[in-house]
Amino acid sequence: MELGGKSPCIVDKDVNLTEAAKRITWGKFINAGQSCIAPDYILVDSQIKTDLIIEIKQCIDNFFGDNPEQSDDYARIINQKQFERLCHLLTDGKIIVGGENNLQNKYIAPTVLDDVSLDSSVMAAEIFGPILPIIKYTTLDEAIALINSKPKPLALYFFSNNKQKQNQILRQTSSGALSFNETMMHGNINDLPFGGVGNSGIGAYHGKASFDIFSHQKSIFYRPFWGDLNWRYAPYKDNIVKIFRQIFTR
């Protein structure tokens, strides 16, 4: 029902940048990014890109200290195969935060990448690790066009105080879930159906949605014996055939 995928995070210039960075950093790097609805990459208004990077770096320091490898609150990569896959992705941009790694204990530091090509490997499939590409945009239309050019995501995150822009995101994008000014938290609310759309999954569960998705709605048809019309049975006349065609081709 939910398959993951690349969940974009858009950051508008009309935003509380400190709070946005805190929530994005938490959502991306909890469990070292190994969460199906973790923010996969950031699309940020070009006017605040530098400031957002500064804030994210500060959040990483606040959460995990100067050396996240020594932090009891920072996870490791699940196995060597995934560690090697993620290390390969580190070469797909300019490392501006983190990048350190250690095969012996499968550690990859919380990492931020800049100068990332849209055609690179890190933008081709779900990262599922502690690597966060940051891409700037000039207009929100540009960001929406980029998102819509890719398979529909399991989650889409939009940080903005602008209600008009929030409505634009709501109307012009499609995703399994949409969160405004938050990451990941919608997956913990049982009253919100959780699932994907298109490439990111089919159907949804949680709460009553779980009952609905795992229940088969069987169609039951009942008819009494009276009221049968003989014209439904062969042999047919031309005018009856025309009527049948009109009924069954609607």
Q: What is the pLDDT of residue 8?
A: 96
3-state secondary structure 95-153: EEECCCEEHHHCEECCEEEECCCCCCHHHCCCCCCCEEEEEEECCHHHHHHHHHCCCCC
Q: Does position 202 have pLDDT exceeding 90, yes or no?
A: no
The share of the chain scoring above pLDDT 70, in percent, equals 83
Catalytic residue among 2, 9, 55, 59: 2
Contact between 160 and 166 under an 8 Å Cβ cutoff? The reply is yes
| Reported pTM | 0.81
Of the candidates 128, 97, 132, the one whose C-alpha atom is nearest the C-alpha of residue 116 is: 132
Strand, helix or coil at 245? helix
Enumerate domains of the chain plus CATH numbers. Answer: 8-209 (3.40.309.10)
Q: Out of 9, 36, 55, 59, pick the active-site residue.
A: 36
What's the distance, Cα to Cα, between the start and end of the chain in Å? Answer: 32
Q: Is pLDDT of 196 > 70? A: no
pLDDT bracket for residue 201 (50, 70, 90): low
Q: What is the pLDDT of residues 157-185, one digit of tens each?
A: 999 999 999 999 999 998 888 899 999 88
Task: Note the pLDDT tens digit of each residue in 75-111.
Answer: 999 999 999 999 999 999 999 999 999 999 999 999 9
With bands split at pLDDT 50, 70 and 90, how would you rate the model's confidence at 136? very high
What pLDDT is recorded for position 235?
74
Residue 2 annotated to the active site? yes
- How far is Cα 160 from Cα 9, in angstroms, rounded to an integer? 11
- Residues in a beta bridge with 23: none
Q: Give the pLDDT score at 250.
A: 60
